[in-house]
Chain A
Amino acid sequence: MATNFLDRSRSVAGPGFNRWLVPPAALCIHLCIGEVYAFSVFNKPLSQAIGITAPAPGDWSIPALGWIFSVAIAVLGISSAVWGRWMERVGPRMAMFWAAIAFAAGFFVSAIGVQVHQLWLVYLGYGVIGGWGLGIGYISPVSTLIKWFPDRPGLATGTAIMGFGGAALIASPLSVLLMKHFGGPTSVGVAPTFVVLGVLYLIWMMVGSQIVRVPPPGWRPAGWSPTDESGKMITTRQVVRAQALRTPQFYLLWLVLFFNVTAGIGVLGQASLMAQDVLGVTAAAAAGFVGLLSLFNMGGRIFWASMSDFIGRKGTYVIFFVVGAILYALTPTLGQTHAVVLFVLAYCIVLTFYGGGFATVPAYLRDLFGTVEVGAIHGVLLTAWSAAGVAGPVLINYIRQFELDHGVAKNDAYGVTMYVMAILLVLGLICNLLIRPVADRFYVPAGAAEAVA
């Protein structure tokens, strides 16, 4: 069969394989699919695809274009939940291969949609087809890394998910350069930019799918042996997805991720506007603020996930929620006093918690449920991200508009929002503190564990 070379059995690592080749394979995928965070760079050009220099009749509105990102994130959550078990069964190479095909195809279909000016084709291409690739591409390398790094799962997942946060740093300037190159008096250059990005991402992701390997059965790092640390909520036993979904721990963790992401995503979406309104800086300086937040979002992923290997997952989230709530509660005051450096610093730290939350959660799942179906369980948990992707921006936009409609000055319109975000983080803290080790009845019986694996 033509796809034999993609089979799990063909990607089992041979003797002498260096496990440090797996993180770059994972980064090949995450540095591409994380482009979704930079998609807003196309909003303005797409909103004047007909008028070229300014929106003209028939041009797409910004709210209509905003749905492209929302659909992609929603499909990401759905596809990772639905296809998670398939991914575990067929292995990472097959999953990453199809993720590459889907993500690139999403760009190609969207390019046609832009060329013939049919927005539904862009929703279908980037949102649905590309979103499917996003979901599969997100979970497969993470699950593989957890199996390769049982001694440092936080570091491993942090490395991959750092790539997702860092992708926008590459995609944003690259997209601007390409649009500048292809654009002209008769075109904004988005369609050919999509084609070039699709080809580049296809190649990059295919390289990742070829590098990746799964460890042979029973493999473990030299000098490391698993220890059951139930007191620290680190199990050596296994819970399959169907059983995991019956545990209160799964739903508490879902809420933990939901509250953490809702608080962060709302700020990310409003960062440019907020910097201009509160600090009174120029649009260019506000773009610098957004870039800085992206850097800290990326850095927080590797830093906090690695730290969680030492201080525990629960302790790491306690830091996110306690310090995050304090910082959110302080930012309105910092903004009012125009303490620019402290204001920026507070948001940068908060964004490390946002990124760190994404990167630490797979290791948290592995601690609670074992490794055997961690990718499938992670896939379902990512629906919390989809829900937060809607709730965060809606919440922050609604509150800001409510404040403005009631006569609050622009630079003060974010105060209530930040207090609400602080409350969300306190709710997340409560959920995190309620997480206890999984009850015995949910684990795969000792004799059956190897068969399941």
Chain B
Amino acid sequence: MNTNTPPSSSNAVALFLAWAFVGIPLLWGVVLTCINAAKLFQ
């Protein structure tokens, strides 16, 4: 069985929102960590 039909536009919005929901906080954490890590080489 194969259910991989082409994604609809509502599916694409859901996909964007789901990834943003996890991606934005993670990006915030990564940026802060990089800023702190820079102190090691100063």
Contacts and interface: CB of A to CB of B under 8 A. Distances in A.
B4 A19 contact: yes
A21 B18 CA distance: 7
Contacts of A281: 40
A163 interface: yes
A401 to B, nearest CB: 26
B37 to A, nearest CB: 4
Contacts of A291: 33-34, 36-37
Nearest to B2: A222
Chief secondary structure at chain B's binding surface: helix
A206 to B, nearest CB: 12
A291 B31 CA distance: 11
A211 B15 CA distance: 10
Contacts of A222: 2, 4
B29 A207 contact: no
Which label, helix, strand, loop or mixed, suits the secondary structure of the A interface? helix
Given A166-B29, A219-B3, A295-B30, A18 B11 contact: yes
Interface stretch (A22-30, A56-64, A319-327): A22-30
A218 B3 CA distance: 10
Nearest to A220: B2
Contacts of B40: 275, 281, 285-286, 288-289, 292, 340, 344
A288 B1 contact: no
B37 A207 contact: no
A231 to B, nearest CB: 28
B4 A20 contact: no
Interface in B16-38: 18-19, 21-23, 25-26, 28-30, 32-34, 36-38
Contacts of B19: 24
B39 A288 contact: yes
Given A169-B33, A291-B33, A216 B1 contact: yes
Contact of A295 (B15, B25, B37): B37
Contact of A294 (B33, B39, B42): B33
Contacts of B2: 219-222
Interface stretch (A9-17, A76-84, A409-417, A431-439): A9-17
A287 interface: yes
Contact of B36 (A14, A18, A217, A287): A287
A24 B18 contact: yes
B21 A28 contact: yes
A31 interface: yes
Nearest to B14: A21
A249 to B, nearest CB: 31
B26 A28 contact: no
Contacts of A288: 36-40
A18 B7 contact: yes
Interface string A154-175: 0000000001001011101100
A73 B18 CA distance: 29
Contacts of B28: 170
Nearest to B8: A16
Contacts of A295: 30, 33-34, 37
Nearest to A295: B33
Nearest to A299: B30
A284 B21 contact: no
A193 B21 CA distance: 22
A166 B1 CA distance: 35
Interface string A217-239: 11111100000000000000000
Given A15-B5, A24-B21, A344-B40, A173 B32 contact: yes
A27 B22 contact: yes
Nearest to A344: B40
Interface of A: 13-21, 24-25, 27-28, 31, 163, 166, 168-170, 172-173, 207, 211, 215-222, 275, 281-282, 284-289, 291-292, 294-295, 340-341, 344
Given A31-B25, A295-B33, 8 more contacts: A16-B3, A18-B11, A173-B29, A218-B1, A285-B42, A292-B33, A292-B40, A295-B34
Closest 6 CB pairs of A and B: A169-B29, A24-B18, A170-B29, A288-B40, A222-B4, A27-B22
5 contacts: A14-B3, A25-B18, A31-B22, A220-B2, A291-B37
Interface of B: 1-8, 11, 14-15, 18-19, 21-23, 25-26, 28-30, 32-34, 36-42
